[in-house]
Structure 1
Amino acid sequence: MTERLSVLLRHEAAGGVLLLLAAAFALALDNSPLAHLYDRLLTVPVVVQVGGLLLEKPLLLWINDGLMALFFLLVGLEIKRELMEGNLSSWRQATLPVVAAFGGMLVPALVYAVLNAGDPVAMRGWAIPAATDIAFAVGILALLGSRVPVGLKVFLLALAVIDDLGVILIIALFYTSELSIHSLAIAGAAAAVLLALNLGGVSRLLPYILAGIVMWVAVLKSGVHATLAGVVIALFIPLHTDRAGETPPLVRAEHGLHGYVMLLVMPLFAFANAGVHLEGLSVGDFLSPIPLGIAAGLFAGKQLGIFGLSFLAVRFGFCRLPVGVNWLHLYGAAALAGIGFTMSLFIGTLAFGNPEYQAAVRIGVLSGSLLSGIVGYATLRWFADTPKGPVTGAAR
């Protein structure tokens, strides 16, 4: 477990650095004389045609609908593994991360809703601050090294997995447009093929990939956001195999995808979605309802929700803090969970189709994530000492 965690954290740390560089490059490019090239690049039409099937989208949407499906495929694989044999496989292990994740989604959404009440268009963005960018959050933990107890790393990873599951449900329930029954029927047929492959004990990944491509295209055409196809595909990839000594398909898929997703897909998404014109920005732009609601939700809402509900759950004896973790550690992790960045930007693209709202979303996400990262890092770096013994529900 510790070895696998250390490998994961190395990937996440590198991915976090690349995400930061990609976002900084996008900001610099979008505020330079080359800004028009940045905008033109993202609107370049990309066409794929096979017979009568035509897919034509600008490059930005290929990144958001296509490459991000790989990210959600990886998320689905991680969720399935954690639920079946990982940190969420028993209620005792999962209680605190579940409580924390629930608070970390509910309270930020409420903060946003309070600050945007009365504006039905702005209210479409209520879920933006509910997300957590696992690459950034866990990447910062990796940079802190041994200053952070292993129990806190496991807690934050489990919280992020549950948060991702919540985001998936939010996208499916609240950000789905008009549905095409014909396309959904094709997606259902592809799911049936995936189920047959699973029940038949097929361990080669290629058949799952081919059926998965059909499902992704069908979901893309159905009105349901195409990234959800990645999650569904992941659920059918077997975690176990009957052949002795063979690495399970899910583990092979997860290991094969992780580096590409963290080091390529997510930085590309950050580059494509983090550009915002800073010229002429004033304090009023940061304090307008949408960016203020997002920033306050990520910074204050995440801390209140995660730390507050966790504190109550431990105090009332429903669960315990992980071994070696104290309250300052938990507060630092709650602050790091406020780094919404790529996931919040992604939900922002779903919530507001009108480009005029995207600048407000990006201002809120970037400012809230930056503040959360600074506070979380500072807390864990300078104020939280690693205790030597286990911490129980009576810890102070």
Structure 2
Amino acid sequence: LGKRVPPELKIFLLALAIIDDLGAIIVIALFYGHGLSLLALGIALLVGLVLLLMNLKGITNNTLYILLGLVMWAAVLKSGVHATIAGVLLGLLIPLRGNRESFHELEHSLHAPVNYIILPLFAFVNTGVGFGSVTAKDFTDSVTVGIAAGLLFGKSIGIFVFSKLAELLRLGRLPEGVGNIHLLGVALLGGIGFTMSLFIGSLAFECSADACFSLVDERIGILLGSVASGVLGYFVLGAALKKKQR
């Protein structure tokens, strides 16, 4: 769809994806931790405080932030809270003011390895669906159908309804030239849930004698729901943009 998509819709979808991932990380931190260690948690908080003071003092040494971030990650991992929360905290504590060149340099250096190595590897490892063992029954299992429907209908309806509610309450408004059909298309695209959905699924359905079947069904449901959301969102948004051009 390229440049035909209004910049406001791109920003909205990007913000939605970021908030969605942050919400997932908070859920992981709160509900999938094991055996809380107060000592390790205290060390993590202390390192976080040091990072905050560095931020307030305007220190922009990226190497120092990364090294302390690794210490905080290890402490959070040992604390029993899921270590993904350390990455979020580190991102929030890296200063944006002052030497902006330093921040952009860090962002640029992380862009390629994260997008072309880490995320694809993460998705590949967490998908792990052995299609040789998949049967027709797996596609109609309640876990598969529930997850696929949740992504396709639950997320898209939630995004659309609450966006309209925010508009009615005057908390926001649709940009000029953007209508409900555009919002519906973006809401459907918001139903794509891949990396974090797979991650939470792997935590929720730990593989045991009985649960491995649920883990396979969960991954099939995520794939089906994400593909359906992406395809429908593409066609709905594409139709809206063609109508606008006319």
Normalising by the residue count of structure 1, what TM-score does the alignment of the two structures yield?
A: 0.57
Q: 2:227 aligns with which of 363, 370, 387?
A: 370
Q: Which amino acid aligns with 2:204?
A: A
Q: Is the 8 A contact 1:240 1:248 kept in 2?
A: no
Q: Are 1:220 and 2:77 counterparts?
A: yes
Q: 1:381 aligns with which of 216, 238, 245?
A: 238
Q: Which amino acid aligns with 2:13?
A: L
Q: Which amino acid aligns with 2:137?
A: G
Which residues of 2 match residues 18-29 of structure 1 at below 5 A?
none
Q: Are 1:186 and 2:43 counterparts?
A: yes
Aligned to 1:301: 154
The change in CA–CA distance for 1:360 and 1:382 in structure 2 (over 3 A counts) is same
Higher helix share: 2
Q: Are 1:267 and 2:124 counterparts?
A: no
Structure 1 residue 158, shift from structure 2 partner: 1.6
What is the DSSP-based 3-state SS (H/G/I as helix, E as strand, rest coil) of the residue aligned with 1:371?
helix
Structure 1 residue 317, shift from structure 2 partner: 4.0
The change in CA–CA distance for 1:145 and 1:180 in structure 2 (over 3 A counts) is same
Structure 1 residue 248, shift from structure 2 partner: 5.0
Aligned to 1:291: 144
Q: Is the 8 A contact 1:176 1:223 kept in 2?
A: yes
Q: Which amino acid aligns with 1:153?
A: K
Alpha carbon RMSD of aligned pairs, Å?
Answer: 2.0
Q: Is the 8 A contact 1:299 1:371 kept in 2?
A: yes
The change in CA–CA distance for 1:187 and 1:335 in structure 2 (over 3 A counts) is same
The change in CA–CA distance for 1:262 and 1:312 in structure 2 (over 3 A counts) is same
Which residues of 2 match residues 12-161 of structure 1 at below 5 A?
144-161=1-18
Aligned to 1:359: 216
Structure 1 residue 321, shift from structure 2 partner: 0.8
CA distance in 1, matches of 2:2, 2:116: 20
Q: Is the 8 A contact 1:219 1:225 kept in 2?
A: yes
Aligned to 1:166: 23
Aligned to 2:179: 326
CA distance in 2, matches of 1:386, 1:201: 49
- Where has structure 1 moved over 6 Å in runs of 4 or more? none
Q: Which amino acid aligns with 2:85?
A: L
What is the DSSP-based 3-state SS (H/G/I as helix, E as strand, rest coil) of the residue aligned with 1:385?
helix
* Gap regions ≥5 residues in structure 2: none
Of the structure 1 ranges 375-384 and 249-258, higher mean CA displacement relative to structure 2 is found in 249-258
Structure 1 residue 297, shift from structure 2 partner: 0.3
Structure 1 residue 229, shift from structure 2 partner: 0.8
Structure 1 residue 172, shift from structure 2 partner: 1.9
CA distance in 1, matches of 2:52, 2:32: 26
Q: Is the 8 A contact 1:299 1:369 kept in 2?
A: yes
Q: Is the 8 A contact 2:30 2:81 kept in 1?
A: no
In the TM superposition, what whole-angstrom CA distance separates every residue of 1:42-85 from its partner, at most 9, and x where no partner exists?
xxxxxxxxxxxxxxxxxxxxxxxxxxxxxxxxxxxxxxxxxxxx
Q: Is the 8 A contact 1:149 1:386 kept in 2?
A: no
Q: Are 1:253 and 2:115 counterparts?
A: no
CA distance in 2, matches of 1:279, 1:264: 27
Structure 1 residue 364, shift from structure 2 partner: 0.8
* Gap regions ≥5 residues in structure 1: 1-143, 389-396
In the TM superposition, what whole-angstrom CA distance separates every residue of 1:318-374 from its partner, at most 9, and x where no partner exists?
421123311111111111111101121011122222251321221111011011111
Q: Is the 8 A contact 1:298 1:372 kept in 2?
A: yes
Structure 1 residue 249, shift from structure 2 partner: 4.0
Query: Matched residue pairs, number?
Result: 241
Q: Which has the higher contact order (CA 8 A, sep 6+)?
A: 1
What is the DSSP-based 3-state SS (H/G/I as helix, E as strand, rest coil) of the residue aligned with 1:279?
helix
Normalising by the residue count of structure 2, what TM-score does the alignment of the two structures yield?
A: 0.89
Structure 1 residue 193, shift from structure 2 partner: 2.3
CA distance in 1, matches of 2:166, 2:199: 31
Q: Which amino acid aligns with 1:366?
A: L
What is the DSSP-based 3-state SS (H/G/I as helix, E as strand, rest coil) of the residue aligned with 2:113?
helix
Q: Is the 8 A contact 1:326 1:387 kept in 2?
A: no
Q: Is the 8 A contact 1:179 1:222 kept in 2?
A: yes
Q: Which amino acid aligns with 1:336?
A: L
CA distance in 2, matches of 1:161, 1:320: 20
Structure 1 residue 316, shift from structure 2 partner: 5.1
Q: 1:278 aligns with which of 107, 131, 154?
A: 131
Aligned to 2:61: 204
CA distance in 1, matches of 2:162, 2:19: 15
